[in-house]
Structure 1
Amino acid sequence: MILDLTDEQRAFAAAVDDFCRREAGTRAQRDALTDHGRHAHHQDTYQKLADLGYLGVAIPEQFGGAGGGMVDTCLFLERIGYGLLPVGGFATSAIVASAVQRSGSEAQKKTVLGGLTSGRTFSIAMSEPEAGSDVAALACRAAPGPDGGYVINGQKTWCSNAHFADAILLVARTGGAAGDHDGLTMFLVPADTPGLRVSGIQTMGGKEVNDLYFTECALPADSVVGTVGGGWWQLMAGLNVERLILAGLMLGTAQRAFDDTLDYIKQRKQFGRPIGSFQVLRHRIADLATEIECCKLLVHRTAQLVDRDPAKVLPRESSMVKLKTTEVARETALAGMQMMGGYGYASEYDMERHVRATLVSTIYGGTSEIQRDIIGKTYGL
């Protein structure tokens, strides 16, 4: 692929590829690490990445990181996605780290940014039973508590990785009523805080997401991330990073689904020849390859724009990259399953996992419908 990468970045990508092959290169290894696909995160593997310095690829050097940017992050995500490495906690941890880096106190930066580089994981609690795409409808409330702190009451849902996270970035209402953008505040909540209960939600993807219940959960004043009531604007400032992180991961997954499909149709024979030699499959492969190449360019170009001006919000570009890459990943996995026939549906092969992973990617982090709406609005519609 022709991208504007440095020699160091290419060497980094090759090193991550080598790690993935060594740690999770076979189906037997992946089954052992994930309990046959039921868990998306293996902490020992994650810790090995931390020890090698890979988790801190975009963390400033003063917090133990390598000081890289979004191009480096996307490159790392693409390679672990391709390598099927079970470190699902990285994406949410990187999103939390980015939010804390922009808005957090020095103590919070040491906890989260330094924590990520050393192998800690973090989660985000934003969605609620009655507030998903409509973030302004959040009702989980943080009321004034003793000693200038806050008391949290309410429920959060679909919180990825909260069941093993060290701390959770909570978005709660400190003022206004449901429907107001103003009055939202971010808090950093240690996972062992009394009054917080985590309850897993069973999904077709295994154990990934959770309900969070806050009951008289007391937090100190210094748990506020950024400014009280400024959570909405802090969320908006993080859209570039969140959507690029999801796109980078799905770019790697799409390429892996494509390569797995290509290997299969080159070997599988029907009617006396490889099924890939039939025009209908040959053309389908051509279309998918072209779409994935477009996604590569879009992901890395958008990442370069963010690195050029990290403070600039790119609503159009970040929505485009999330929309396009997740939908191409989904279509690639579904097409792969179709071309592999019954073998694509069988749990013996990785394709059914690719399908499960990519189906949900068009939902989390803002649905495809929301991304299209945002893109349309940037054109004055």
Structure 2
Amino acid sequence: MAGRLTPEQRDFRTALRTFAHRECGTRARRDALTAETGGPHSPSLYARLADLGWLGVCLPETYGGAGGGMTDACLFLEECAHGMVPAGGFITSVITAKAYEKFGSPAQRKAAIGGVVAGQVLSIAMSEPGAGSDVAALRCRAERTENGGWLINGHKTWISNAHLATSILLVARTGTGGDKHTGLTMFHLPADTPGVEIRGIDTMGGREVNDVFLTDVRLPADAVVGRTGHAWTQLTTGLNSERLFLAAHMLGLSRRIFDDTLGYVREREQFGRPVGSFQALRHRLADLATEIACADLLVWDVAARCDAEPDRLFPREASMAKLKATETAKRAALEGMQMMGGYGYATEYDMERHLRTAVVSTVYGGTSEIQRDIIGKSYGL
């Protein structure tokens, strides 16, 4: 990646690494930060990232952002993951902000994008108990009221960062009949709206995802984001950024896992020498380094393409990047745990945390199976 960065981006990377080392460079510091929410997000650290102006890295200057592109956002995400910076609210926030940037009204853009730049967390609610990979099967219903507003009832689940969010970009059904992909609408939903109940779901990774219950929630007419009944088309335009951001984050985690594993096998001795000197482990690390390098090339190539043609969709390439980076991270964590033996399984070390983070990455944002299906269909299969 280094050869593809501008001087400004190289300086940004240096600043990110310095910040991560200073603020999150020890296990004790990371544990103290993540204890704030019981999950991978530290509000106090996030506020400092906002003060530095980094949360608006790829958002418009009009709303206080830095005006950067996908490459800049991927750089931020990769380095935060490698430095174990607990800024778990960023991915959903920037994905949601990009949707507002494309389809929101001026007032919605100012509130949402300006909020992200200032350190607010945003969330997006699509999945339901009966609509996971098949998102278009959602049943959450929004109906017109007599005053032109909306009455919404339904249940969303696995909603990342809803418990931290100032507002939620809600996808609900406003029309019936015809293709299931039609009749879906996006709504700007302040998280404190009466009738909204957010309940955390306990997971291996701590407090990250939530059930969101909507009971007779009333929204004004101008809460619609974009065009009524066109949410599916609007959602597909954001797939480049969602999948690429997730890929960049997992690329950074893969690098961190490799570095941690390499450091361990260089120091751990058995049979009178470092365990990394045995061919069985040396070859494993060689293969892993090659896989990470392949993921790196793919992620940064897709980012460059998106920056060169910002209005073009890259469904095949974005799915490839997400598939390769997340599966590589999962493999790296499993290999790292195996090479560290019992220490990889112990909570004293970071490897077990790496594994929990990596495994779920092959599920959220579209499972690996869904990514493979998208790639296959792009070839007419």
Does TM-score exceed 0.5, indicating one fold?
Answer: yes
Q: Does structure 1 residue 85 correspond to structure 2 residue 85?
A: yes
Partner residue of 2:23?
A: 23
Q: CA offset at residue 112 of structure 1?
A: 1.0
Paired residue type of 2:59: I
For the residue of structure 2 that corresponds to 1:212, the secondary structure is strand
TM-score, normalised by the number of residues in structure 2: 0.98
8 Å contact 1:136–1:179 — kept in the other structure? no
Q: CA offset at residue 178 of structure 1?
A: 9.5
Partner residue of 2:59?
A: 59
Q: 1:190 to 1:333 in 2, by over 3 A?
A: same
Q: CA offset at residue 34 of structure 1?
A: 1.0
Alignment deviations for residues 235-287 of structure 1 (CA, whole Å, 9 cap, x no partner): 11000000011011111111000100000000000000000000010000001
For the residue of structure 2 that corresponds to 1:167, the secondary structure is strand
Counterparts in 2 of 1:140-151, with a 5 A limit? 140-151=140-151
Q: Distance in 2 between the 1:4 and 1:288 partners?
A: 23
Q: CA offset at residue 177 of structure 1?
A: 5.0
8 Å contact 1:247–1:321 — kept in the other structure? yes
Q: 1:372 to 1:323 in 2, by over 3 A?
A: same
8 Å contact 2:36–2:42 — kept in the other structure? no
The number of equivalent residue pairs is: 381
8 Å contact 1:175–1:182 — kept in the other structure? yes
Q: Distance in 1 between the 2:2 and 2:86 partners?
A: 28
Counterparts in 2 of 1:99-110, with a 5 A limit? 99-110=99-110
8 Å contact 1:138–1:179 — kept in the other structure? no
Partner residue of 2:338?
A: 338
Counterparts in 2 of 1:1-381, with a 5 A limit? 1-35=1-35, 38-176=38-176, 180-381=180-381
Structure 1: stretches of 5+ with no match in the other structure = none
Paired residue type of 1:86: P
Runs of 4+ residues deviating >3 angstroms: none
Q: Distance in 2 between the 1:86 and 1:3 partners?
A: 28
Q: CA offset at residue 188 of structure 1?
A: 1.1
Q: CA offset at residue 182 of structure 1?
A: 0.3
Q: CA offset at residue 37 of structure 1?
A: 9.0
Q: Distance in 2 between the 1:279 and 1:63 partners?
A: 54
Q: CA offset at residue 370 of structure 1?
A: 0.3
Q: Distance in 2 between the 1:371 and 1:227 partners?
A: 27
Q: How large is the RMSD of aligned CA atoms in angstroms?
A: 1.2
Paired residue type of 2:133: S
State percent identity of aligned pairs.
Answer: 61
Q: CA offset at residue 66 of structure 1?
A: 0.7
Q: Distance in 1 between the 2:314 and 2:17 partners?
A: 30
Q: CA offset at residue 36 of structure 1?
A: 9.2
8 Å contact 1:3–1:300 — kept in the other structure? no
8 Å contact 2:2–2:10 — kept in the other structure? no
8 Å contact 1:139–1:178 — kept in the other structure? no
Paired residue type of 1:322: K
Q: Distance in 2 between the 1:262 and 1:37 partners?
A: 31
Paired residue type of 1:239: L
Structure 2: stretches of 5+ with no match in the other structure = none
Q: CA offset at residue 3 of structure 1?
A: 3.7
Q: Distance in 1 between the 2:36 and 2:26 partners?
A: 12
Q: CA offset at residue 35 of structure 1?
A: 1.9
For the residue of structure 2 that corresponds to 1:158, the secondary structure is strand
Q: CA offset at residue 135 of structure 1?
A: 1.3
Q: Distance in 1 between the 2:37 and 2:157 partners?
A: 22
Alignment deviations for residues 19-74 of structure 1 (CA, whole Å, 9 cap, x no partner): 11111110000111112993211111001000000001111111101100000000
Q: 1:176 to 1:209 in 2, by over 3 A?
A: same
